[in-house]
């Protein structure tokens, strides 16, 4: 029987690729999406389609209301999503988002007796979010070993961030090799209800440049 793994699945390009990689490694993938009050809620429908298409064992949606505390252009509609590069960590950063998501993944992993968690973060061709860096992932792994009954009892909790050092083009080429249908994914921070992209936000720019650099036709539906 395939070992279970929890795979964080946003519905974007990176996490779809991480899911395909986890699947290729032979894991039974329990995909977890989080509705945190993001404005680009179309990514959650995309996540469901991606989970189905990539052969996830199951797909779970958890809700946490981060919009109530605000502090990010992704959760506060009063803050505009930048449509040109900005200096430093952009306003689309969501406070502690990946810490929260990994915590939820850790909880589910413990219930499933899963020793492996996958997350599709990467540091290159990305926005400089602090919780996408290797040192953050390593620190979460150290925490996980201490945080759970499973850890105390000697079960492992391995954090996998297989895209962390890849460029967007390399991620896309790996996904294509694994049969990911990127037309199903939604990366845009201000995607409309149909999942159509703006083409101007950071997420769109990195994605578009990635397809271009990979010399792969861009299947993104722009509005």
Q: Which residues bind a copy of itself (CB under 8 A)?
A: 60, 62-66, 68-71, 89, 93-100, 103-104, 106-108, 110-111, 129-131, 133, 135-136, 139-140, 142-144, 146-153
CB of 198 to a copy of itself, least distance (A): 23
CB of 202 to a copy of itself, least distance (A): 15
Select 78 or 215, whichever has its Cβ closest to a copy of itself. Answer: 78
The Cα-based distances of 207 to 123, 129, 154 in angstroms read: 14, 16, 40
CB of 66 to a copy of itself, least distance (A): 6
Select 21 or 126, whichever has its Cβ closest to a copy of itself. Answer: 126
For 179-184, the CB contacts below 8 A with 24+ separation are: 179/20, 180/16, 180/17, 180/20, 180/50, 180/54, 181/53, 181/219, 182/13, 182/16, 182/219, 182/220, 183/219, 183/220, 183/221, 184/16, 184/46, 184/49, 184/50, 184/53
Select 61 or 176, whichever has its Cβ closest to a copy of itself. Answer: 61
The Cα-based distances of 132 to 48, 79, 102, 109, 165 in angstroms read: 23, 22, 12, 20, 10
Select 62 or 124, whichever has its Cβ closest to a copy of itself. Answer: 62
Select 154 or 193, whichever has its Cβ closest to a copy of itself. Answer: 154
Q: Cα-Cα-Cα-Cα dihedral of 213, 82, 121, 135, to 10°? A: 120
CB of 153 to a copy of itself, least distance (A): 8
CB of 164 to a copy of itself, least distance (A): 14
């Amino acid at each position: 029987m395939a070992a279970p793994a929890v795979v964080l699945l946003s519905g974007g390009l990176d996490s779809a690729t991480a899911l395909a990689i986890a699947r290729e490694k032979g894991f039974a993938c329990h995909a977890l999406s989080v509705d945190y009050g993001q404005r680009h809620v179309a990514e959650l429908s995309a996540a469901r389609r991606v989970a189905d298409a990539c052969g996830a064992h199951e797909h779970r949606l958890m809700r946490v209301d981060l919009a109530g505390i605000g502090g990010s252009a992704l959760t506060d509609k009063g803050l505009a999503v930048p449509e040109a590069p900005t200096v430093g960590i952009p306003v689309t950063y969501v406070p502690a988002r990946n810490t929260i998501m990994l915590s939820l993944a850790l909880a589910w992993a413990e219930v499933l007796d899963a020793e492996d968690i996958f997350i599709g973060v990467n540091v290159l061709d990305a926005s400089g979010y602090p919780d996408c860096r290797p040192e953050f992932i390593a620190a979460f792994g150290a925490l996980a070993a201490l945080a759970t009954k499973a850890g105390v009892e000697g079960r492992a909790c391995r954090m996998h961030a297989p895209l962390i050092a890849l460029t967007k083009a390399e991620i896309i080429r790996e996904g294509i090799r694994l049969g990911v249908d990127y037309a199903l994914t939604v990366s845009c921070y201000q995607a409309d209800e149909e999942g159509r992209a703006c083409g101007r936000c950071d997420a769109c720019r990195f994605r578009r440049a990635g397809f271009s650099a990979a010399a792969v036709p861009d299947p993104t539906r722009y509005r």
